[in-house]
Amino acid sequence: MQQFDVLILGSGLAGQSLALRLADSRRVAIVTKRHIEDSASAWAQGGIAAVIDPADSTKSHFDDTMVAGAELCDPAATRFVVEHGNAAIQWLREQGVPFTPDGDTPWGMHLTREGGHSHRRIVHVADATGAAVQETLIDRVRRHPNIRIFERHIAVDLIVGNKIGKPDAGCLGAYLLDIDKGHIHPFAAAHTVLATGGTGKVYLYTTNPDTATGDGVAMAWRAGCSVANMEFIQFHPTCLYHPQAKSFLISEAVRGEGGLLKLPDGTRFMPQHDPRAELAPRDVVARAIDFEMKKRGLDSVFLDISHKSPEFLHEHFPNILARCAELGIDITRQPIPVVPAAHYSCGGVAVDLKARTDVPGLYAIGETAYTGLHGANRLASNSLLECVVFSEAAAQDILSNPRKAVDMLPAWDESRVSDADEEVVIAHNWEELRRFMWDYVGIVRTNKRLERAQHRIRLLTREIDEYYANFRVSNDLIELRNLVVTADLIVRSALKRKESRGLHFSRDYPQTLKRSRPTVLRNPRRPGRLRSWVFG
């Protein structure tokens, strides 16, 4: 059995920043399914939103977030994040993150603007901010003597006290599968943190890496946690459409710097859908593209920034320019073919302002968590900010509330299972799940589509549970099991919302209610203890 002070499941910005804040005084384990470099954080192009310019204000950032979130953001959480934005950027600079400079400003960093923001407040590293941040932090994480990295390991499930005869013990750690060796071991920890990222792979088309299989949400639900706002799935409006391009998104910043959305004949269409045109929030833009594609039978629309100089494009979007050039698209002269794709989950494991879940000793940060910041739609570049701010909040709470890891945990029991006889079952169920989620629970929804999806989820759940009970677990089986739980929570949440708001658009309920609340699914196995705004 491995034993640590803090067990962090996930290696993105949230998990790494938390580890660095704790490691001077705690023994920390970071667990990642592939390699530490593989996370959605590393794929983030746009940047990090924070109030840096004195002409800007936290009130303006707060207001922009609330508007983008369709007034469903939690005010306390939103205020907490935006007020800590400047400090989060300064912490990252202290770690060595090389934000794009601007010597003409007192603060020394270039600020760009993205859809939904009323000011330039996005600090960035060209068009590969996430990769630059991750590269900087990974170097520090690898060199810290108190941090151990477990690559090619995946959590099978959390270990909670009520499952081993200690009902008041809270979370005691997790069972981890060594993917290469096939062995499962218990990892004991005083504090366990879910930082496993998002749920994008539940959909057929996504900008997310293959690791985004809803692991944290599913494990937390099985452990007794509540989840909230799972119906709000953000579809990035501009994913590159090309048969050889997998999950490559075209940053929000392209539209922020003047990119125009056009039909194949060169006609702009966004002004007909929203007065903010290309600078409207992502949900508005994604629905507009979806509408135009379905109305006209298009495979894609086009994002054109060729009116900018080649020098400007080389400076601001070198990675997008290079990737498109590899595929034969010269963005200095040609528009970029784009389609919407599942991008970000605004819901997740319900936490308080200290990142605590319902289960004592268990925290959730990053995209896995529902903090209340994003409401019904995430404002561009708020997510990386949330990772840093809530990692700090979690670190402070962990350091202020010492717990002792247990000395012994039961071993994983494989005495009644055998090797899988037909792995094709997993592949088939995976494809079926992602296909009907895209068709029935996508950008535009109806009750009938949701009910069809729910029926298929129930059938798949029975098949997967039977398979899980009889055969040795594998990485693919664990991910499929988590995906079907996540899909179920998304559909159940969508059926509960009787309106259209933000990212959730229903043809049966096209109106937006005057007053609305978060959709909270409370696990009947454990009473909630979170602050009142979550549960009312």
- Which amino acid is located at 241 in the chain? Y
Q: Which pLDDT band holds residue 525 (cuts at 50, 70, 90)? A: low
What pLDDT digit, counting tens, does each position of 261-298 carry? 999 999 999 999 999 999 988 778 988 998 898 889 89
Q: Which two tokens stand for residue 376?
A: 């019904």
Pick the CATH number of 424-512 from 3.50.50.60, 1.20.58.100, 3.10.180.10, 3.40.190.10: 1.20.58.100
Look at residues 175, 312, 303, 332 and name the one whose alpha carbon lies nearest to residue 242.
303
Percent of the chain with pLDDT over 70: 97
3-state secondary structure 197-221: CCCHHHCCCECCCCCCCCHHHHHHH
Note if the pTM is more than 0.85. Answer: yes
27, 282, 449, 456: the catalytic one is: 282
- Rounded to the nearest integer, the mean pLDDT of the chain is 92
| CATH annotation of 239-341 | 3.90.700.10
What pLDDT digit, counting tens, does each position of 388-412 carry? 999 999 999 999 999 988 988 988 8
**Average pLDDT value for residue range 416-421:** 70
What pLDDT digit, counting tens, does each position of 58-110 carry? 999 999 999 999 999 999 999 999 999 999 999 999 999 999 999 889 999 99
Domains of the chain, by residue range, sit at 2-231+346-400, 239-341, 424-512
Catalytic, 282? Answer yes
Cα–Cα distance measured from residue 46 to residue 354, given in angstroms and rounded to the nearest whole number: 27
Q: Which CATH class is domain 2-231+346-400?
A: alpha beta
Mean pLDDT is highest, among 122-126, 424-428, 465-469, 480-484, for 480-484
Q: Please count the other Cβ atoms lying within 10 Å of the Cβ belonging to residue 396.
A: 14
The residue among 416 and 175 whose pLDDT is bigger is 175
Strand positions, DSSP E, 279-393: 301-304, 336-345, 348-350, 362-364, 369-370
Cα–Cα distance measured from residue 197 to residue 518, given in angstroms and rounded to the nearest whole number: 21
Sheet holding 260-262: strands in order across?
233-240, 336-345, 301-304, 260-262
- Which amino acid is located at 523 in the chain? N
